[in-house]
Structure 1
Amino acid sequence: MSTDTSTAAAAGTQPGGGTAVQGHPGRLKPRASRPRRGPASYATVSAVAVFVLAFLAPFLIILVNAFKTSADYRSHGTLSLPSSWNWGILQDVWQRVDFTQKLLNSVETSLGVVVIAVVLALFNGYALGIGRIRWRTAFLVFFLGVNVLPQEGLVYPVYYLFKELGLYDSKLGYTLLVGVTYSAFGTYLLSSVYASFPRELIEAASLDGAGRWTILWRVILPMSWPTLSVMCIFFFVWSWNEFLYPLVLLISNENQTVPLGLAGMQGQYTSDPTAMSAAALLGVIPMVVFFLLFQRSLTRGLTAGAVK
């Protein structure tokens, strides 16, 4: 008993529990208790759970109906589980859509869009944010205006321009168009980020003899990777989901992207809901894989500005 008491005293605690207050051996600090969850906490968790279920419901419906037969769908409806799983429908839809070619076209154009948009945005943002060129505000207003213009207002001028330049039905022309369009948003974002960039680092690099290109590649670029990674992910997803520009500019089957291939499954007078669900599932899987591969980079990029 005496040994336990001396050990507790040496550790600054009392035998009955709690921690002794320094200078007051007889007084105990109250133990920190976990905060109790009130009704507001449970309401918040319930609201988030409902939101998640509502968000996942369309994907679950697609997943269930993608493996049904047409007879099973007509007999039991949309929300029922398949009576027998039709695994061959994915292969059938893959061949009908020529999904391999559509997938390669989407990957090729999306990667090209990312490269063009990020490079142009980097140079423009560096000039507007770090260089502080004349008419900076006017340029920012211009780039902001490009972002708010609807595609429907640009599609006909772009169509006739591409006809004159010989870029119609060309993946290169489509990639250049979308890349330049997305670079306007990237320029507006990076110029705002670079405007608050520490000037001391730039001045120190200048005193060491670094030129503008050296400052860009050795100082600005390494510190911009979180923002650039988020831009790359967003541009890739946006380009993958583009529908209006590919619909107007890419008319041949060998140049069409995944969204156009999926739209081709729906006719004016004919419709196969199970095949449409299977096609939608094939279109969603690459984006899910892409998100799982780069979700850590996305999370780091979004939270990089919150911690200095």
Structure 2
Amino acid sequence: MITRNTHDTDTPHTAREAAPPSHAAPKEHARNRTTHGRGPGSYAVITAVTLFVLVFLAPFAIILVNSFKTSADYRANGSLSWPEQWNWDIIGDVWERVDFTQKLLNSIQISLGVVVIAVLVALFNAYAIGIGRIRWRTAFLVFFLGVNVLPQEGLVYPIYYLFKETGLYDGKLGYTILVGITYSAFGTYLLSSVFSTFPKELIEAASLDGAGRWTILWRIVLPMSWPTLSVMCVFFFVWSWNEFLYPLVLLISNDNQTVPLGLSVTQGQYTSDPTALSAAALLGVIPMIAFFLVFQRTLTRGLTAGAVK
């Protein structure tokens, strides 16, 4: 009797003590599977990505190092050597030489204006084509696609004379409108594809509730399309910031020039200062790095979330 009771009492106790390892087994198995899941292929991919990142960052590292060299140091030791003496004054010299403050303000003003114009025009066009289903929808899409295909070199000549005749030459307003409308062609083509898959049930339900076209656009379509619009804003800002040909032809005065044009004055026809060029390139890339650091979360969220959920 006592033996039986002892045995009956010990058996559940032993089972309870043995239970935790059985419950922990799946976690340990998953951990082992994760640890041993990396084969030679995974390490090869990691190595290839690391090499790609190093190769991609190498030019920026060279620019950064040469931006603080003296001209004599560069001529004596080349571009790949470490500076013998850090020249901290070269950034200030290049900043004053190109009037970088004015160029920076011009680029920010023009890029923001381009983003506003391009996104609004693309939104209205795509709303009419993708959701409104206007007539000749395919013809309009082919037209906007053709605007994206045309090279800038083929448009500079007629745009130059058009600006001359209309009094928009050498003006930031005319240039901003031009670039904004040009970029809106790409935005229209992109948003039209997104809006063509927009849930029709939402539009019909809103119409039955008495919502008009403007209400549907601002209350339903715009909030649900914001991921795509945010990506467009980032791309349009960067593209406008890096424009060189159009501002070179249309913005000739020093007070209206953008950052790429201002930095080009460090390179002459018969003279060249590699350290000044490196410092100018560093000044030109720092605003873009800061821009991406500020909006990287918005860009990542827009690329991964999709346009319509």
Is TM > 0.5 for Structure 1 vs Structure 2? yes
Name the amino acid aligned to 1:84: Q
Aligned to 2:148: 147
In structure 2, what is the Cα distance between the partners aligned to 1:97 and 1:246? 16
Aligned to 2:208: 207
For residues 257-303 of structure 1, the C-alpha deviation after alignment (integer angstroms, 9 at most, x for no partner) is 00001111100100000000001000000000000000000000000
Aligned to 1:198: 199
Aligned to 2:267: 266
Match of 1:63, SS state, is helix
Match of 1:291, SS state, is helix
In structure 2, what is the Cα distance between the partners aligned to 1:306 and 1:8? 53
Name the amino acid aligned to 1:7: R
In structure 2, what is the Cα distance between the partners aligned to 1:4 and 1:60? 66
Runs of 4+, deviation exceeding 3 Å: 1-4, 8-12
Distance 1:18 1:115, change over 3 A: closer
In structure 2, what is the Cα distance between the partners aligned to 1:212 and 1:137? 22
In structure 2, what is the Cα distance between the partners aligned to 1:302 and 1:223? 14
- The number of equivalent residue pairs is 297
Name the amino acid aligned to 2:300: T
For residues 69-109 of structure 1, the C-alpha deviation after alignment (integer angstroms, 9 at most, x for no partner) is 00110111000111111111100100000000000000000
Aligned to 2:15: 6
Cα deviation for residue 41 of structure 1 reads 1.4
Identity of aligned residues (%): 77
Counterpart mapping for 1:1-308 below 5 A: 5-9=14-18, 13=22, 18=25, 31-32=29-30, 33-34=33-34, 35-305=36-306, 308=309
In structure 2, what is the Cα distance between the partners aligned to 1:61 and 1:10? 61
Unpaired segments of 5 or more residues in structure 1? 20-28
Cα deviation for residue 36 of structure 1 reads 3.0
Cα deviation for residue 187 of structure 1 reads 0.2
In structure 2, what is the Cα distance between the partners aligned to 1:116 and 1:307? 23
Name the amino acid aligned to 2:181: V
Cα deviation for residue 67 of structure 1 reads 0.2
In structure 2, what is the Cα distance between the partners aligned to 1:225 and 1:307? 9
In structure 1, what is the Cα distance between the partners aligned to 2:184 and 2:13? 71
Name the amino acid aligned to 2:15: S
Cα deviation for residue 54 of structure 1 reads 1.1
Name the amino acid aligned to 1:226: P
Unpaired segments of 5 or more residues in structure 2? 1-9
Cα deviation for residue 6 of structure 1 reads 3.2
Match of 1:253, SS state, is coil
Cα deviation for residue 18 of structure 1 reads 3.4
Cα deviation for residue 12 of structure 1 reads 8.0
In structure 2, what is the Cα distance between the partners aligned to 1:130 and 1:158? 32
In structure 2, what is the Cα distance between the partners aligned to 1:128 and 1:45? 44
What's the TM-score, normalizing by structure 1?
A: 0.92
In structure 2, what is the Cα distance between the partners aligned to 1:5 and 1:70? 81
Cα deviation for residue 40 of structure 1 reads 1.6
Cα deviation for residue 307 of structure 1 reads 9.0
Cα deviation for residue 9 of structure 1 reads 5.0
Match of 2:191, SS state, is helix
Aligned to 1:23: none
Cα deviation for residue 45 of structure 1 reads 1.2
In structure 2, what is the Cα distance between the partners aligned to 1:30 and 1:307? 40
In structure 2, what is the Cα distance between the partners aligned to 1:168 and 1:6? 88
The one of the two structures with greater contact order (alpha-carbon pairs below 8 A, sep at least 6) is 2
In structure 2, what is the Cα distance between the partners aligned to 1:117 and 1:275? 35
RMSD, matched Cα = 1.9
Question: Which of the two has greater helix per residue?
Answer: 2
47-56 vs 59-68, greater mean Cα deviation: 47-56
Name the amino acid aligned to 2:29: R
